[in-house]
Amino acid sequence: MNTDASGGSLVLGIYTVMGLFTMYMLFNTIMVRKKLKKAIKVFDPRFKILQSILIAMLLYMSFFTKSLYLKIVVIFIALFFTYMSFERIRITEDGIYYNGRLDKWEDIDRWEFHPKGNLMLTILRGKSSRVIPFKVEDKSEADKIIKEYKSAKKKGKKQVQDSNK
């Protein structure tokens, strides 16, 4: 039995699944961005060193892969990661959008900025959390906008509750 052939097909299968998942993520990102309302403010995210290293490793690996199909899948994944690394942070009327995901204002329970600029969101009554890499210089402006929109959403809910009484 040739173990190299079965090992190669296993790797090919894994990368095929990764490529399909990457295509799903790309499609999902495009669909979410189409549904976004007007952006109030757009911020550039902080540079991500580890993601850049991963992209470089994927591209480097594609040069040493013998299978053309595997090269195409690896390069596609690297290009998707490159696209996502340049994805901008958008604070919209709906909520905060970053990396293909929109966190709606009503779903955000808490938020806090760390000294390095990371915004930590606690979503849906503590069920999940998310880190958004803001630049340190954008931290105060983003916090001001978030406070403004969160307080406006709370007032809107309170007015609806008061009118129901």
pLDDT string in tens for the chain (165-residue length): 344 556 678 888 888 899 999 999 999 999 998 988 888 899 988 887 888 898 888 888 888 888 888 888 888 888 888 888 888 899 998 889 998 888 888 888 888 888 877 888 788 767 888 888 888 888 889 999 998 888 877 666 544 334 334
Look at the chain and count its residues: 165
Helices 3-35 and 68-85 pack at an angle, to 10 degrees, of 30
Q: Could you state, in order of their start, the residue ranges of all structural domains in the chain? A: 1-35+46-86, 90-165
pTM of the model: 0.75
pLDDT at position 165? 43
Collect all residues with Cβ–Cβ distance below 8 Å to 128 and sequence separation of at least 6. Answer: 122
SS3 138: helix
User: Tokens 């509750």 identify what position?
Assistant: 161
Cα(58)–Cα(28) distance, rounded to whole angstroms?
22
Cα angle for residues 124, 128, 130 (degrees, 5° grid): 110
3-class state of residue 127 by DSSP: coil
Residue with tokens 């007015």: 159
Phi and psi at residue 131, to the nearest 5°: -110, 130
Number of C-beta neighbours around residue 32 at 10 A: 14
